[in-house]
Structure 1
Amino acid sequence: MENTFSVGLKNNIAPQQEYLLQGSIVDLHRDVLLHRLRGLCDNADKQPETFSDHEMVFVLRGATAQQNPVLFRVRRSLDPPDDPSWHIRYLGTSEIGDKNRHTLVRACFDVACSNNVVKFLNEMGFRSDHEYCVKGYFFHKGRMKVTVSKIYRMVQTGTPDGNTQEAMTQSSLVELSVVAPAGQEQIADDMKNFAEQLKPLVQLEKVDQKRLSVQ
């Protein structure tokens, strides 16, 4: 089976790759990390930007158990709630590749869409798999993006208001990412150097996807 990168090239879609490092920090030390990021990132004179999103994951399963399911992520902004922005995102399988590479790398397609995207996916045969809310802060350092966010379980599906959300952990997810055209390996080195400046508060690493897939 062809990978996402090859299919994108054949269909004249500009191949984009996401370079990613992840970690976590307990809530007790989150504000210290935010203060450090504010000093390291651009626009240090301003308060960090916040976001509040509702994400739904849709899956299209293959005809046989051997076929990998296709996942699409639909995210809409809850701020402001009366005029949300919608995005649909596809993330390819993480590349194993060079073990010396400092970051995880995967194909990434992310586009803005209209608010009837859920109906469109259902008509295409996709079915809802799970949903959650994510709230937090994001920073920029050049083309690098840093988010510090908390994930909330929705007690009642389809109604992402504050009364139907429960925090899943007592810690926040920290992600350092860059989306760029393929072949820019220098990005991984830049990200590693930036991540070193956040130690010992948070250890940003590339996640072993094979370990996560073990049930």
Structure 2
Amino acid sequence: MESLPPMFKAASLTTEYLLQGSIMEQSRDVLLQRLIGLCDDTKSPPDNFHDHEMVFHMKNTTIQQPLVYRVRHSLVQSDCWSLRYLGNTEMGDKNKPTLTRTSIDCPVSENVVQYLNELGFRMDHEFVVKGYYFHKGRMKVTVSKFFKMNQPSNVADNLEAVCPSFLVELSVVTALGQEGVGEDMKNFAEQLKPLVQLEKTDHRKITMNQT
């Protein structure tokens, strides 16, 4: 079992089941309409989010990879802050339909950045993300676009889209061993074809290509 960072020793250990894909901007509205028809309690226009995320690293002398925490706060609801830890993404058995990774998410106060700095963490990068979210039972679907901040901490001006496409993620956060979740997600993903192909993305290959 994955060793938890000290800050999360008392937190509930959960597993995120994940499928990912992308869609070009000109197809976004068609996908949103499809999701409105498939998901629970949806309305037009759908619920949206506009967040600022900061990624903090701390080098660990006992393991090769640094500790990574993610701080996200809403730019719509200024008092809404969260701290997230994501474990390494696992491809697992090739017959399993989804990726899995440890996921711990907890609400925090706005002084979390100061707290992390005092612990020795340093911000590695930050970005703004805008998008839409849907729920189908315990499944969550997000359609997101990411923006690079050309001026540090400036979340309003001179934002530059990282790429022209939207990231589409289908996920479920639950206890470890809920294998039936993957089949439910696979069946739901089939209903989004051919608009978007949701699949297991090998993050290790992405990391290798960036180094």
Report the TM-score range of the alignment, normalised by the length of the smaller protein: over 0.9
**After the TM superposition, which parts of structure 1 deviate over 4 Å for at least 4 consecutive aligned residues?**
none
Does structure 1 residue 197 correspond to structure 2 residue 191?
yes
Structure 1: segments with no counterpart, 5+ residues = none
Q: Does 1:20 align with 2:18?
A: yes
TM-score of the aligned structures, taking structure 1 as reference length: 0.91
**Structure 2 residue aligned with 1:130:** 125
* Distance in 2 (alpha carbons) for counterparts of 1:68 and 1:190: 33
1:149 aligns with 2:141: no
Once the 2 structures are TM-superposed, how far is the Cα of residue 21 of structure 1 from its aligned partner?
Answer: 0.5
Query: Does the CA-based 8 Å contact 1:4-1:107 persist in structure 2?
Result: no
Residues 63-212 of structure 1: pairs in structure 2 closer than 5 A: 63=61, 67-80=64-77, 83-161=78-156, 163-212=157-206
Q: What is the alpha-carbon distance in structure 1 between the residues aligned to residue 175 and residue 53 of structure 2?
A: 25
Q: TM-score, normalised by structure 2?
A: 0.92
- Work out the number of aligned pairs and report it: 207
Secondary structure in 2 matching 1:4:
coil
**What percentage of aligned pairs have identical amino acids?**
54
Q: Deviations over 1:130-174 (max 9, x none)?
A: 00000010000001000011000001111211x231111111110
Q: Displacement of 1:43 after TM fit?
A: 1.2
- C-alpha contact (below 8 Å) 1:78/1:84 kept by paired residues: no
Distance in 2 of aligned mates of 1:45 and 1:55: 27
Shift of 1:94: 1.5
Q: What is the Cα deviation at residue 31 of structure 1?
A: 0.3
One-letter identity of the residue aligned with 1:167: A
Per the TM alignment, residue 95 of structure 1 is displaced from its structure 2 partner at its CA by 2.2
Q: Conserved in 2, the CA contact under 8 Å of 1:18 and 1:106?
A: yes
Are the equivalent residues in 2 in contact too, given 1:14–1:181 (CA < 8 A)? no
Alpha-carbon RMSD across the aligned residues, in angstroms, is 1.8
Residue type matched to 1:27 in 2? Answer: E
- What SS does structure 2 have at the residue aligned with 1:44? coil
1:108, distance to aligned residue in structure 2 (A): 0.5
For 1:42 and 1:174, locate their aligned partners in 2 and report how far apart those are by CA, in whole Å. 18
State the AA in 2 paired with 1:47.
P
